[in-house]
């Protein structure tokens, strides 16, 4: 899909009007020198003032029309290109919203920001440029050549010589600078990713005191960007004076030959003057062309990068229809590796099942694949082998909407949006009533909320409780808590857990946790290690048969029980 063409379609009439303006303007520009030749040859040369007035008025009229057309095309170009840019950004944003997880892992967020910012701006410039000069440059160039040839075929040989050299220069710069502009974009991406990472972890950087290190890394990337920019600009900057020089030589040649022809009286002096003006117009249109090439080179890279986003794989889209499923879960022999991962499976041969209204705790060291189970349950990634079912239906066969209504996840990092607590809660369920919100806050032990319309600037533990309340409002038959109470003190955590078990209707609960005390409260406990199930059973069973569980238990509760 060509993002430029599709997004310009709504503006085709304005675009056409701008092109017509440019064409008319070019014609006015082209007529100028010929009219001047008339003034000189038929007026000044012969000493006839009326002729000078006659042609002079005509020339003035043509120039004025040209200026009006120029104002017209510039205004239209501004309106159309900004509208085009806004539309394109909108398309990109809604595309990014629907990207599959694999695609968003692949297109890092840093590069998505560059694409939405820098690359769109680049295309906007290109569109603006097209409407203002793309047509004008070739029309003026070819028109000047034709009219100059008509004035004097012999003099125009100089023009052809100049043109050959100029196009050679243009071709070479295009060829050499395109790869440079690509690496330039890459360097810009790296820098953006770095800035974004820093902003996300700013408190961590401060806490660890690694500002110096960050600064050095930034300086390196920044330096690389600067060098790349200079290198890619250098070629283009070199091209312009070279071209100007060539054309000036050509003009000098014209004057020399013109002088000879004039002394042989085989050319009018007016024609020589007009000829040099056409030469100047050819120069300016060629410079415009180099500008166009410059824009095209940059646009090509930007266009490819935007197309890459637009063509990335989306998650399955389906209608508003969804069905209610019973809250049973089963994993049978599930193996999965992240598409952008190391290739080592994050989960291998995982099997378990959970009855409706039951509870399962998943415990294990970091990196053992606990969160991965949550992502897979939401079908954010397809499994490599094995099958996951919810309510007896394979995830492959379920629509996204059905799945989102069946499973609610409270992720490991509770994130709230800027806005009030009410807005954040409503984000979980737009139809939630005031009563339901208060009830959800009560279950989540969020008693610190006195006013729903307070801004949601909260501590980590408070955020987690709001996130749980928000999830409860969705009233899904399956609730997955990924370490969602990690920032709560033991007393509050126990309170939240008890309230969750008392919910009516009772959701099927999957609790991912690091704490044995939490795990013990569930009907079943599954122990994960390196993506494999190390043990599954009750607290008592696992203490006997699972080494990993025994070790976690000893480290957390051993002292209390034996001591
Ligand atoms: P846990 O939640 O138990 O700490 P995870 O399920 O988050 O563990 O991670 C399991 C493994 O998968 C880890 O080795 C981790 O590096 C890898 N992993 C997690 N998320 C991604 C991802 N988006 N892309 C690639 N690898 C990932
Ligand atoms: Mg995790």
pLDDT digits (tens, 9 = 90+) for 423-434: 999 999 999 999
| pLDDT of the residue at 562 | 56
Out of 283-287, 337-341, 479-483, the most confident range is 479-483
Q: How confident is the model at residue 169 (pLDDT cuts 50, 70, 90)?
A: confident
Site of tokens 């066969």: 397
Of 127-136, 450-459, 545-554, which gets the smallest average pLDDT? 127-136
Is the model more confident about 177 or about 92? Answer: 92
- Please tell me the distance from the alpha carbon of residue 416 to that of residue 424, in angstroms, as a whole number: 7
Out of 29-38, 176-185, 227-236, the most confident range is 29-38
Please tell me the number of the ligand nearest to residue 363's CA. 1
Out of 372, 378, 381, mutate this one to test ligand 1's pocket (max ligand atoms within 8 Å of CB): namely: 372
- Please tell me the distance from the alpha carbon of residue 404 to that of residue 478, in angstroms, as a whole number: 10
Which residues lie near ion ligand 2 (Cβ < 5 Å)?
Answer: 370-371, 412
| CB of 105 closer than 6 angstroms to any ligand 1 atom | yes
| pLDDT of the residue at 258 | 83
- Statement: residue 532 has pLDDT above 90: yes
- Statement: residue 343 has pLDDT above 80: yes
Burial label, 93 (beta-carbon count in 10 A; 0-12, 13-18, 19+): exposed
pLDDT one-digit tens code per residue, 37-65: 889 888 888 888 898 999 999 999 999 99
Question: Looking at residues 268-280, what average pLDDT do you find?
Answer: 84
Residue of the nearest CA to atom 7 in ligand 1?
371
| pLDDT of the residue at 318 | 65
Residue of the nearest CA to atom 12 in ligand 1?
346
> Among the atoms of ligand 1, which is closest to the Cα of residue 531?
10
Integer angstrom CA distances of residue 168 from 138, 144, 232, 290, 312: 17, 20, 19, 12, 38
> Among the atoms of ligand 1, which is closest to the Cα of residue 365?
3
- Please tell me the distance from the alpha carbon of residue 478 to that of residue 406, in angstroms, as a whole number: 6
Q: How confident is the model at residue 110 (pLDDT cuts 50, 70, 90)?
A: low
Integer angstrom CA distances of residue 18 from 57, 247, 302, 436, 560: 27, 29, 24, 57, 81
Out of 335, 336, 338, mutate this one to test ligand 1's pocket (max ligand atoms within 8 Å of CB): namely: 338
Q: Which residues pair with 64 in a beta bridge?
A: none
Mean of all residue pLDDT scores within the chain: 88
- Statement: residue 257 has pLDDT above 90: no
Residue of the nearest CA to atom 15 in ligand 1?
367
What is the separation, in whole angstroms, between the first and last Cα of the chain? 69
- Statement: residue 559 has pLDDT above 70: no
| CB of 366 closer than 6 angstroms to any ligand 1 atom | yes
| CB of 340 closer than 6 angstroms to any ligand 1 atom | yes
Q: Which of 283, 285, 249 is nearest to 257 (CA)?
A: 249
> Among the atoms of ligand 1, which is closest to the Cα of residue 366?
4
DSSP string, 81-113: HHHHHHHHHHHHHHHHHTB-HHHHHHS-HHHHH
| pLDDT of the residue at 538 | 95
Q: Which of 394, 255, 250, 403 is nearest to 318 (CA)?
A: 403
| pLDDT of the residue at 265 | 75
- Please tell me the distance from the alpha carbon of residue 48 to that of residue 45, in angstroms, as a whole number: 8
- Please tell me the distance from the alpha carbon of residue 396 to that of residue 315, in angstroms, as a whole number: 12
| pLDDT of the residue at 19 | 83
| CB of 546 closer than 6 angstroms to any ligand 1 atom | no
| pLDDT of the residue at 561 | 59
Annotate 507-523 with three-state secondary structure: CEEEEEECCHHHHHCCC
- Please tell me the distance from the alpha carbon of residue 324 to that of residue 64, in angstroms, as a whole number: 71
Q: Which residues pair with 533 in a beta bridge?
A: 528
Residue of the nearest CA to atom 26 in ligand 1?
341
Of 252-261, 295-304, 458-467, which gets the smallest average pLDDT? 295-304
Residues of the chain above pLDDT 70, percent: 98
Please tell me the number of the ligand nearest to residue 484's CA. 2
| CB of 369 closer than 6 angstroms to any ligand 1 atom | yes
pTM over 0.85: no
- Statement: residue 320 has pLDDT above 70: no
pLDDT one-digit tens code per residue, 192-215: 777 877 777 777 777 778 888 888
Cα 337 to ligand 1 centre (Å): 9
């Amino acid at each position: 899909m060509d993002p430029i063409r599709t997004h310009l379609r709504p503006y085709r009439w304005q675009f056409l009007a701008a092109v017509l303006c440019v064409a008319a303007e070019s014609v006015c520009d082209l007529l100028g020198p010929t009219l001047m030749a008339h003034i000189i040859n038929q007026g000044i040369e012969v000493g006839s003032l009326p002729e000078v007035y006659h042609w002079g008025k005509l020339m003035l009229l043509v120039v004025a029309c040209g200026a009006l057309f120029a104002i017209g095309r510039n205004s239209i170009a501004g309106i159309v290109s900004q509208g085009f840019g806004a539309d394109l950004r909108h398309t990109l944003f809604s595309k990014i919203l629907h990207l599959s997880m694999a695609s968003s892992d692949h297109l890092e967020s840093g590069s998505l920001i560059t694409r939405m910012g820098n690359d769109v701006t680049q295309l906007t410039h290109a569109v603006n440029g097209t409407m203002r000069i793309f047509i004008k440059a070739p029309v003026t160039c070819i028109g000047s050549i034709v009219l100059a040839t008509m004035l004097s075929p012999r003099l125009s040989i100089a023009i052809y010589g100049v043109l050959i050299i100029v196009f050679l220069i243009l071709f070479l710069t295009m060829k050499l600078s395109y790869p440079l502009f690509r690496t330039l974009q890459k360097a810009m991406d790296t820098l953006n990713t770095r800035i974004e990472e820093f902003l996300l972890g700013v408190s961590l950087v401060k806490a660890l005191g690694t500002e110096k290190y960050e600064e050095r890394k930034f300086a390196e990337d920044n330096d690389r960007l600067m060098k790349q920019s200079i290198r890619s600009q250098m070629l283009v900057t070199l091209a312009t004076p070279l071209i100007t020089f060539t054309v000036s030589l050509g003009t000098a040649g014209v004057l020399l030959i013109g002088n000879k022809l004039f002394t042989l009286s085989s050319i009018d002096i007016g024609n020589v003057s007009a000829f040099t003006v056409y030469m100047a117009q050819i120069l300016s249109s060629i410079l415009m062309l180099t500008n166009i090439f410059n824009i095209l080179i940059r646009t090509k890279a930007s266009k490819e990068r935007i197309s890459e986003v637009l063509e990335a794989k989306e998650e399955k889209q389906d209608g508003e229809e969804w069905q209610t499923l019973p809250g049973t879960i089963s994993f049978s022999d599930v193996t999965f590796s992240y598409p952008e991962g190391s290739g080592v499976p994050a989960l291998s041969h995982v099997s378990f099942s959970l009855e409706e209204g039951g509870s399962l705790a998943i415990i294990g060291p970091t990196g053992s694949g606990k969160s991965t189970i949550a992502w897979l349950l939401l079908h954010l990634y397809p499994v490599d082998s094995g099958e996951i079912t919810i309510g007896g239906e394979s995830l492959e066969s379920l629509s996204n909407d059905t799945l989102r209504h069946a499973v609610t996840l409270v992720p490991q990092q509770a994130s709230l949006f800027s806005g009030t607590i009410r807005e954040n809660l409503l984000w979980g369920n737009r139809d939630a009533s005031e009563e339901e919100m208060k009830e959800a806050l009560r279950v989540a032990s969020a008693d610190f909320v006195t006013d729903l319309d307070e801004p949601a600037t909260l501590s980590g533990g408070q955020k987690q409780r709001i996130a749980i309340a928000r999830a409860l409002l969705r009233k899904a038959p399956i609730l997955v808590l990924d370490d969602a109470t990690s920032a709560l003190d033991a007393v509050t955590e126990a309170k939240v857990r008890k309230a969750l078990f008392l919910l009516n209707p009772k959701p099927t609960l999957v609790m991912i946790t690091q704490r044995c005390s939490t795990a013990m409260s569930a009907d079943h406990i599954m122990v994960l290690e390196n993506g494999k199930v190390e043990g599954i059973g009750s607290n008592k069973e696992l203490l006997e048969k699972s080494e990993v569980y025994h070790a976690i238990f000893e480290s957390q509760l051993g002292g209390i029980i034996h001591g």
